[in-house]
Amino acid sequence: MRPIKLISGVMTVGFWTLMSRVLGVMREVMILAFIGPGPLMDAFVAAFRLPNMFRRFFAEGAFNAAFVPMFSKKYEGEEDPLIFARDALAGLAFVLLILTALALIFMPAMVYATAGGFAGDERFDLTVGYGRIVFPYILLISLAALFSGALNATGHFAAAAAAPVLLNVFVIGFMLLGSVVGGEAIQWLIWAIPFAGAAQLAVVWIAAERTGIRVRPARPRLTPDMRRLIRTAIPAALAGGVMQINLLVGQFVASGFDNAVGWLYAADRLYQLPLGVVGIAVTVVLLPDLSRKLKAQDHQGGREAFSRSGELSLALTIPASVALVVIPLPLVSVLFERGATGASDSAAIAIAVAIYGLGLPSFVLQKVLQPLYFAREDTKTPFNYAVVSMIVNAVIAIGAAPYLGWIAPAIATTVAGWSMALQLYLGSRKMGDVARFDTRFFRRIWRIVAASVVMGAVLWAAQSVLMPYLALPWIRGLALTLLIALGIVAYGLAGQALGAFSLSELRALLRRRKSKD
C-alpha cells in the first residue's frame, strides 16, 4: 500500500469513525439528559461494560490482532483465504456461544466481581438484569469484527468503518421513539444494544459477500492454521485482558462512590472522540499494510508508512489533548448539562476529562506502535508490557483512592497509558529501521507541540471572553462552536507558520487521491 493509499484509507476510516464518535457524543447527551448520573446510569455502565470487556478479546482486540495478519498473508499469497476465514468464523462462533450461555447463568457473580461496590443496594440487581439483555451483543459484534477484519485486509475499509455507526443510530433512535410512545428511557436504551449488534453483523457480512469474501458457517475444526491462530491470539487476549482489568479496577474503585461510575463513563466517552478517530483509523489501515510489507521485505516502505502514521496521529491528537486540558468545563457543560445532569455533575466530569486528556497522546501512540508487533505475529511482548501497565494502574487506583477519592482511577488510567506507550516504543527499537520514526517525524513533532501550545493559549483567552455566553442556554452551543473554531484556526495558522505541517502538502495528497480514483 503506497503512502497515498495509506492516507486514503486513513481518511475513509477516519471519516466513518468520526461519524460514529460524533453520534456517540449525541448518544451520551441523550443518556445523560434522559437518565442522568445516578443508580440507573451506574447500572447501565457496569452492565454494558461486560460485553465490551470481552469485545476487546474477541473483536477488534486479540482476535483481529491474530486474524488480520494471517488472512492478509494468505490473501496476498497462493493459499485460499476463504477456507481460513470459514474455519475462524466457526471456531469463534462456537467459543462465543459457550461464553454467552455461561455469562447469562452466572451474571450475578460477574457483576459482583466487576462492581463490588454495588452489593447491598439497588444497583446490583439492576446491573444483573441489564447485563442479561446486553451480553449477547458480544456474539454479534465479534462475528462482525471477523468480517470487518477480512474487509480491511483486502483494502475495503468503508463498510467495516461505517458499521459501528449503527450502535449509536439504534440507541438514539430507540430513545427518541421511547420519548414519543412512552415507557422508561432505560428500557429503550438497554434493548437497543442487541438490535444494533444484529444490524452491524448484517452490514459487514453483506459487504463481504459483495467483495467476494463469501464465508459460510461450518463445523468447528482444529486445523494447523487454527492452532496457529489460537497460539497467536491467546497472548493478545491476555494483553487485552490486562487492559480490561485496568478499566475494571477503575470501575470497582468508582463503584464505592455515588455517581462516580457515570461521571467517569461520560468523561471517557468525550476523550474517546479524538482517540477513536485518529487511533482506530490509523491502526485499522496500518496493521494490514505493515503485514504485507514485512512479508515482501519492503522495510523502507514499512518505515515510511509507520512514520507518516505516527506523524499524522500526533498532529491530530496533541492539539485535541491540549483542548481537553484547557477547556474541559465548557465542553462538558454545553454537551451534557441538561435534563437529569446538573452543574455539579458537569464540574466532576470536566475534572476527569482534563486528566484523560493528559493521557490521550499515549493511547494513540499505543495504537501506532502495536501493529509493529502484531504484524510480526508477536503478541507475547505487548502482553508482558501490559502486565506492567496493569500493576501501575492498580497500585495508583487502589492506593490513591482513600486520599483522592473517585478521581484516582482516571489518574491511574493516564499514568498507566504512558507506561504502556513507553514500553512499546523502547521494545520496538530492536526491530530495526522499519520500527524507527524517520528524520521528518522528529523534525516536525516539536513544531506540532509548539503549534498546540499556541492554540491552547488562544483557547484560554477566548474562553475567558466567551464565558458569559457559554452559560446562556439559548446561545451556549454557538459559543462553544466559535471557541472550537478559533482553536482550529489558531492551530492551523501556527502549524503552517512553524512548519509543523504543510497545507499545500495535504492539497497535493488530495489531488493525487482524486487522480487515482
pTM: 0.74
User: 348 or 119: whose pLDDT is higher?
Assistant: 348
Greatest mean pLDDT among 12-16, 128-132, 441-445 lies in 128-132
The identity of residue 140, as a single letter, is L
- pLDDT for res 328: 94
Give the single-character DSSP code of 137.
H
Tens-digit pLDDT profile for residues 19-53: 777 888 888 888 988 898 889 999 999 999 888 87
Q: How far apart are CA 304 and CA 290, in angstroms?
A: 10
pLDDT range class, residue 4, cuts 50, 70, 90: very low
Q: Which of 237, 226, 213 minimizes the C-alpha distance to 91?
A: 226
* 297 Rama class: left (phi>0) / alpha (psi -120 to 50) / beta: left
Tens-digit pLDDT profile for residues 363-406: 888 878 887 787 777 778 888 898 899 899 999 999 999 999 99
Q: How many residues does the chain have?
A: 517
pLDDT range class, residue 517, cuts 50, 70, 90: very low
pLDDT range class, residue 516, cuts 50, 70, 90: very low
User: 54 or 462: whose pLDDT is higher?
Assistant: 462
Grid coordinates given for 498: 512553524
pLDDT range class, residue 471, cuts 50, 70, 90: confident
Cβ distance 269 to 352 under 8 Å? no
- pLDDT for res 316: 85
- pLDDT for res 1: 46
Tens-digit pLDDT profile for residues 210-262: 888 888 877 888 888 888 888 777 776 666 566 677 778 888 899 888 888 88
Tens-digit pLDDT profile for residues 122-144: 899 999 999 999 999 999 988 88
Cβ distance 151 to 159 under 8 Å? yes
Greatest mean pLDDT among 213-217, 314-318, 471-475 lies in 314-318
The SS3 of residue 341 is coil
Cβ distance 136 to 85 under 8 Å? no
